Structure 1
């Protein structure tokens, strides 16, 4: 199959590219490199197993390249929940407008299958935890979450109007090798700068679910092969959670530090739009035959080890 991956040089996108190449797909990566890096996929480019096109989805000139694609994986987005409160227009453009442009390019050029990476933040502060896919009402509390929910609605509209097939995946916190942002990245770099003290945003009691990127990709591909509606939607995450202070303790332990003093900025959340309690229900995927084999603690520990290796700390 010919697959297109937007944002394929980024964290999760590059792992998607790896998996698609491994199963024999011909892959075109489209990325503007605002967040991704060609080093994430360079071995595949050099070997000819993947093709790379540097392009911004808000510009023109890339659309005809998706002609003949059997499936488009759309991961290109502005992923920063915290920064979305500062630059809402940029988030709208890079998330909502860019998604509509990809969908319309598919309509024009005859591509019929669309895979989208959404987020747990579309649920807002859910009153049911673990939160199932049919939870209502969905009231995002961040610009980022709102942009992703708007994308989901547009995808459903295109799928039913133009005979496309689509898959939407609402991710918990996906972590691991090649990640360049998030709480683990922040903690590690703060501790490199000052190994005696770590500032934790909020009160440290925020509890969230974490899943390794490898398990996430397995779930995505499994769901695609085992569901067949016009608009398919699934949660992906682990079946447990840990609080931010416990996560910080894992980071300190893996960095072989001792006597680190934790300080807290206060409040029940780290920033505007932060959801202090999050765990997704994954019963829908379990019914199909997939379940997470790793929990939050193991996923965090693996992610910390991967980051420390990448930055040559260990």
Structure 2
């Protein structure tokens, strides 16, 4: 198959590329490299198993490269929830306008399948936890979450109007090798600067689900291979959750830093738009035969080890 991956040099996108290359796909990556890192895909580029087009999805010129493609993995997005509150327009442009541009290019060049990475934050502060896919009403509390929910609706409308097949995945906190943002990345860098004290935003009681990026990617492809509707959507995450304080304890342990003093900024959330409690129900995907093979604590531990190793190299 010929697969196009937008944002394929980024964290999750590069792991999608890894999987596609192993599967023998022809892979084209479209990335402006503003958040992605060419090093994440260097081996595939050097071997000729993937090709990179450096382009911004808000510009023109890249669309023609979709000709002949079987499917698009639309991973490119502005993922910073905190920054979206300070400067919302770029997030709306990069997440919504860019998605429309991808769908229009697919329509023009006859690409019939899209895989889209959404987020658990589309549910807002859900009253049902674990939260199932049919939870309602979905009331996002961050600009980032609002853009992702808008994307889901636009993708559904294009799929039904233009006979496309669409898969939408609402992720828990996906963590692991190559990540360049998020709480684990933040904590490790803070502790590198001051190994005696760690600032934790909020009260440390925020409790969420974390899931390994490798396990997440396997789940994405499992769902794609085992569902065939015009439009379908799945939660992906672990079946447990841990507090931010517990997460910090795992990281200090992995860094060999006993006795670190935790300093809390206060309040029940870390920033504007932060959802303090999140765990997704994954029963829908399990009904297809999938089983999550890792939990939050193990995912955090493995992610911390991977990021520490990257910093040493």
Q: CA deviation at 1:75?
A: 0.4
How far, CA to CA, are the matches of 2:258 and 2:294 in structure 1? 27
Match of 1:230 in 2: 230
Q: How many residues are treated as equivalent by the alignment?
A: 313
Match of 2:128 in 1: 128
How far, CA to CA, are the matches of 2:117 and 2:111 in structure 1? 18
Q: CA deviation at 1:259?
A: 1.6
Alignment of 1:48-87 (within 5 A): 48-87=48-87
Alignment of 1:30-179 (within 5 A): 30-179=30-179
How far, CA to CA, are the matches of 1:291 and 1:55 in structure 2? 37
Alignment of 1:240-259 (within 5 A): 240-259=240-259
Query: Is 2:300 aligned against 1:293?
Result: no
Q: Secondary structure at the match of 1:72?
A: strand
Structure 1: 4+ residue segments shifted above 4 A:
none
How far, CA to CA, are the matches of 2:291 and 2:35 in structure 1? 30
Match of 2:305 in 1: 305
Cα deviation, 1:50-85, whole Å, max 9, x if unaligned, reads 000000000000001001110100000000011100
How far, CA to CA, are the matches of 1:261 and 1:57 in structure 2? 44
Cα deviation, 1:29-56, whole Å, max 9, x if unaligned, reads 0000010011000000000000000000
Q: CA deviation at 1:258?
A: 1.5
Query: Is 2:14 aligned against 1:14?
Result: yes
Cα deviation, 1:256-301, whole Å, max 9, x if unaligned, reads 0112100000000000000000000000000001111100000000
Match of 1:281 in 2: 281
With the length of structure 2 as denominator, give the TM-score of the two structures: 0.99
How far, CA to CA, are the matches of 1:249 and 1:258 in structure 2? 9
How far, CA to CA, are the matches of 1:212 and 1:57 in structure 2? 28
How far, CA to CA, are the matches of 2:186 and 2:18 in structure 1? 26
Cα deviation, 1:143-185, whole Å, max 9, x if unaligned, reads 0000000000000000000000000000000000000000000
Match of 1:267 in 2: 267
- Unaligned 5+ runs, structure 1: none
With the length of structure 1 as denominator, give the TM-score of the two structures: 0.99
Q: Secondary structure at the match of 1:115?
A: strand
- Unaligned 5+ runs, structure 2: none
Match of 1:210 in 2: 210
Q: CA deviation at 1:135?
A: 0.2
Q: Secondary structure at the match of 2:168?
A: strand
Q: Secondary structure at the match of 2:258?
A: coil
